[in-house]
């Protein structure tokens, strides 16, 4: 059998003339051909889809990447790999790169431009900043996501139209209703602490007790917490009778402020205190002493003990002080009062007494109370047209914080039970204005 002929030895002239072609052929055979057969390997689809193996970065690339990432937080090196250190460009490493690292050619005297890779911490910070930028839209601007509902009109043409259309046509509340809603909002404001308003006058029979009851019932209607009214009248006050009615009060156990004082040290809960209270709806009341022999015995120290007890359970308290400002308990009442209501009438004498009361307060160390007082003029006796009401109001308005007029109302003038249901709308609105002005003095 003839021996195979080696083409390389059979044509030495070609090999001599084309040495470069031979070197290229030998390089291809050495890198890609099968060493046994000398043929090129078959390329399969798997070989095409699979990426070539990654080689370790060169030391020069590592130095440039480390220098670019220097301001950012350092990355954790993969397990089993050597840490990458930052080397200044002016001081290249003294040792040569390891044999496993392939050198990357760079321009002489210049460092390769490699963009810094974002670290995990920087990406987390960017996401947190993006969420923080979106959060105020949900928290501070809910109107961007929920359509505001127009308030429902009550009464009048707007309310009738709303009811006829089943809510399909809503013109919103009228200006008067918006004013009423604003008064309700002012009355119902949440308070931090307990506050006391004293109602006083120098003359009896001008609406002091009826104002206390009417304003107390109004506070109870609009506030979330019930108010408390204290009868500190030394002349057998009738605060509870005006709030409950004479017949109902007589049927109840007639516990008074004197009974409360005897057991004040043993009261440690609202349940225990309720035994000495009377209730006109949500208005809680402490009755005054009815016995003439002891009705004027309440001292300033005793009133302060009552006030301290009440402050632990009620945020708003009204104190009916009776007539005058010089009786025994008055010093303690004025000392603990946060603001005052000065009751007056449209009679010339009533207006003069109200002004005298304010001057007396300013001259005896209660100037702030006088300046922030609310003067309430009640048209209890329906004075004749000869009385200049505007002149009386101008006479008093300049020396107090606010002046409010209560129109004539038989539900107040008869001296009996005072209930909001039977009062005229103008009277109820006046009591709402007084209640709102009281709370304004607390905040």
Average pLDDT of the segment spanning 154-161: 82
Give the C-alpha separation, 294 to 357, whole Å: 26
What is the Cα–Cα distance from 17 to 6, expressed in whole angstroms? 18
Rounded average pLDDT over 3-7: 50
Give the per-residue pLDDT at 135: 57
Q: If you average pLDDT over each of 44-58, 241-255, 306-320, 355-369, which comes out highest?
A: 306-320
Least confident window among 82-91, 265-274, 379-388: 82-91
Other C-beta atoms within 10 Å of 403: how many?
Answer: 22
Chain segment 108-117, per-residue pLDDT in tens: 555 555 566 6
User: Which long-range contacts (C-beta less than 8 Å, at least 24 apart) are formed by 271-279?
Assistant: 273/309, 273/313, 277/228, 278/240, 278/243, 278/244, 278/249, 278/252
Mean pLDDT of 133-156: 67
Specify the pLDDT at position 300. 92
Q: What is the pLDDT of residue 199?
A: 96
Distances (CA, A) of 363 to 197, 332, 359, 367, 371: 20, 17, 6, 7, 12
- Greater pLDDT, 135 or 346: 346
Q: What is the pLDDT of residue 68?
A: 59
Q: What is the pLDDT of residues 82-112, one digit of tens each?
A: 444 444 444 554 444 444 444 445 555 555 5
Q: How would residue 126 be classed by pLDDT, with cut points 50, 70 and 90?
A: confident
pLDDT of 73 reads: 47
Query: Would you tell me how many other CB atoms lie within 10 Å of the CB of residue 441?
Result: 17
Taking every pair of C-alpha atoms in the chain, what is the biggest distance, in angstroms?
155
57 or 116, which is more confident: 116
- Tell me the two tokens of residue 377: 């003029």
Sign of CA dihedral 88, 90, 94, 95: positive
Residues 163-203: tens digit of each pLDDT: 888 888 888 888 888 899 999 999 999 999 999 999 998 87
Per-residue pLDDT, averaged over 357-386, amounts to 87
**Selection from 214, 230, 382, 402 nearest residue 316 by Cα:** 230
Where is 13: in which H helix or E strand?
A: helix 12-17
**Whole-model pTM above 0.85?**
no
């Amino acid at each position: 059998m003839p021996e195979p002929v080696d083409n390389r030895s059979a044509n030495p002239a070609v090999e001599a003339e084309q040495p470069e072609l031979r070197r290229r052929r030998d390089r291809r055979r050495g890198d890609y051909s099968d060493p046994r057969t000398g043929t090129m390997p078959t390329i399969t689809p798997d070989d095409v889809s699979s990426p070539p193996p990654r080689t370790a970065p060169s030391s020069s690339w590592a130095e440039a990447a480390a220098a670019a990432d220097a301001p950012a937080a350092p990355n954790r090196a993969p397990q089993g790999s050597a840490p990458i250190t930052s080397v200044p460009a002016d001081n290249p490493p003294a040792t040569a790169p390891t044999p496993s690292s392939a050198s990357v050619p760079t321009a002489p005297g210049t460092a390769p431009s490699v963009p810094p890779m974002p670290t995990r911490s920087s990406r987390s910070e960017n996401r947190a900043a993006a969420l923080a930028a979106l959060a105020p839209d949900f928290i501070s601007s809910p109107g961007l996501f929920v359509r505001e509902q127009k308030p429902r009109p009550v009464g009048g043409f707007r309310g009738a139209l709303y009811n006829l259309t089943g809510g399909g046509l809503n013109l919103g509340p009228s200006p008067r209703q918006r004013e009423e809603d604003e008064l309700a909002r002012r009355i119902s404001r949440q308070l931090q602490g307990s506050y006391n308003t004293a109602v006083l006058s120098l003359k009896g029979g001008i609406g002091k007790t009826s104002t206390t009851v009417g304003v107390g019932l109004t506070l109870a209607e609009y506030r979330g917490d019930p108010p408390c009214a204290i009868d500190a009248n030394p002349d057998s006050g009738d605060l509870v009778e005006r709030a409950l009615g004479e017949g109902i009060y007589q049927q109840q156990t007639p516990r008074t402020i004197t009974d409360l004082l005897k057991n004040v040290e043993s009261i440690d809960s609202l349940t225990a205190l309720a035994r000495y209270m009377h209730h006109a709806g949500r208005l809680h009341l402490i009755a005054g002493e009815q016995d003439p022999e002891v009705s004027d015995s309440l001292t300033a120290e005793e009133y302060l003990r009552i006030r301290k007890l009440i402050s632990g359970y009620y945020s708003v308290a009204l104190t009916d002080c009776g007539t005058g400002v010089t009786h025994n308990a008055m010093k303690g009442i004025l000392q603990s009062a946060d603001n005052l209501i000065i009751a007056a009438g449209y009679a010339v004498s009533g207006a003069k007494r109200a002004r005298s009361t304010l001057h007396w307060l300013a001259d005896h160390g209660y100037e702030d109370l006088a300046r922030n007082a609310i003067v309430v003029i009640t048209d209890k006796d329906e004075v004749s047209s000869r009385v200049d009401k505007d002149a009386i109001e101008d006479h008093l308005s300049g020396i107090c914080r606010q002046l409010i007029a209560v129109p004539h109302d038989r539900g107040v003038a008869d001296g009996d039970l005072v209930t909001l249901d039977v009062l005229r709308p103008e009277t109820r609105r006046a009591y709402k204005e007084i209640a709102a002005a009281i709370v304004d003095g607390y905040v």
